[in-house]
Chain A
Amino acid sequence: MKIAVTATGTQLESAVDPRFGRARYILIIDPDTMDFEAVDNSGNVNAFKGAGIGAATMVSKKGAEVLLTGYCGPKAFLTLEASGIKVVNDISGTVMDAVTAFRDGRVTYATGANKDAHW
């Protein structure tokens, strides 16, 4: 399986980017092998509107089944839900910390957005 983690950089040691839609990078990681791909999210960082929708669509295309991030808005959540991606909010620390927590089962799946929509 693959999981997606928002990150401020391209490495597993990078800090988790608390924003989902406008995260600088999104790392697509296989938690078993720790193989990963750092996807540049600048297209969504600079989006006029709907950055979360764009990021969620990208994560879905990359085939991730779980997203670990800080904040996820309502439209992003809806898009992720429609793609069958489970969301874990309020993640901080490094990407590695987040993956470890996920592997140890120390995460709770969100039932909704934890951030209001932006206009």
Chain B
Amino acid sequence: MIISVASGKGGTGKTTVATNLALALGEQVELLDCDVEEPNADLFLKPLISRTEKVETPIPLVDGEKCTGCGKCAEICRFNAITVVGKKVLVFPELCHSCGGCMLVCPEGAISETGRELGTISFGHRNGIGFINGRLRVGEAMSPPLIRKVRAAADPNLVTIIDAPPGTSCPVIAAMNGADFILMVTEPTPFGLHDLRLAVEAVRVLNIPCGLVINRADIGDLQVFAYAESERVPILMTIPFDRRIAEIYSRSQVLVEEIPEWRRQFFDLYGRIEAFTKSWRRTKQCAN
């Protein structure tokens, strides 16, 4: 089971929900912090980090002796990451998307693989909960390859909970693609709703079932609730705008450990996600 916690809008409580859900399940669960530009789930989970690895993405290395300057590598590259002027081949590592096309088409076998550092992946655990996070190198523009590496490191036998980045573009898609369920965290404000709509549209394209957690549920207006009903996105949990909850958060503590009632709430949330995902799969099978 892979649950990706997303939102569209930033600051709605994705990390709060992801970490509390992981801790409520307690074991057989792994939390992946895929918000690699600003990974901070570790501040709440407080895992023991056992190792950190540097992660690279392949980029071309041209052997000037073998290269004849034919330009086939430049022709295939849609990102202009490699070009040929005169007999000189120029590589622009930061533009390379690591497709490997240039290496395949080079008739001279003059292009081999070297690496560009994307960032680091850290592995840790806390009380039987596995933890993996990615941290993008400052100056690196492409986060999806790192997000995919974090996801590839996950143990498929465990429940995977992904803390996704905000937004609706490539990094979020990389954090949602292939998930069994998308848990959208939003707030009932026009801003929350605006970005939620975009995120739900993205999820629909991916054809993954999704449900809502409405955080700070008693502020703002009722538009998010109306939207959820009209779009048939189930509201699986609401978290009130509560001083005690805010204080717990502000000390980077977690709800399920400070207020035992919330452990049950998050445990039940998982139950609802499981039930909804099963019925969605059944419906899909019938449709097929």
What is the distance, in angstroms, from A46's C-beta to the closest C-beta of chain B? 11
* B80 pairs with A49, CB closer than 8 A: yes
* B86 pairs with A78, CB closer than 8 A: no
Quick one: which of A47, A48, A49, A79 contacts B90, CB cutoff 8 A? Answer: A79
Complex Cα spacing A53 to B95, Å = 11
6 residue pairs of the A-B complex, CB under 8 angstroms, read A49-B79, A49-B80, A54-B80, A57-B80, A83-B88, A119-B141
* B80 pairs with A78, CB closer than 8 A: no
Which residues of chain B are within 8 angstroms of A49 by Cβ–Cβ distance? Answer: 79-81, 95
Question: Chain B: residues with CB nearer than 8 A to chain A?
Answer: 74, 78-81, 83-86, 88, 90, 92, 95, 141
* A53 pairs with B84, CB closer than 8 A: no
* B95 pairs with A82, CB closer than 8 A: no
Whether A48 contacts B85 in the complex (CB less than 8 A), given A78-B90, A79-B90, comes out as no
Whether A84 contacts B86 in the complex (CB less than 8 A), given A50-B92, A53-B92, A57-B74, comes out as yes
Chain B residue with minimal CB distance to A55?
B80
Chain B residue with minimal CB distance to A75?
B92
Question: Chain A: residues with CB nearer than 8 A to chain B?
Answer: 47-51, 53-54, 56-57, 60, 75, 78-79, 82-84, 119
Which among B78, B83, B86 has the highest number of chain A CB atoms within 10 Å?
B83
Complex Cα spacing A119 to B169, Å = 15
Which residues of chain A are within 8 angstroms of B80 by Cβ–Cβ distance? Answer: 47, 49-51, 53-54, 57
* A50 pairs with B79, CB closer than 8 A: yes
Which among A48, A50, A57, A83 has the highest number of chain B CB atoms within 10 Å?
A50
Whether A60 contacts B92 in the complex (CB less than 8 A), given A48-B78, A50-B80, A54-B80, comes out as no
* B79 pairs with A79, CB closer than 8 A: no
What is the distance, in angstroms, from B45's C-beta to the closest C-beta of chain A? 32
Given contacts A47-B78, A50-B79, A51-B80, 9 further A-B pairs with CB under 8 A are A49-B81, A50-B92, A50-B95, A60-B85, A79-B90, A82-B85, A82-B88, A82-B90, A83-B85
* B85 pairs with A79, CB closer than 8 A: yes
Which residues of chain A are within 8 angstroms of B78 by Cβ–Cβ distance? Answer: 47-48
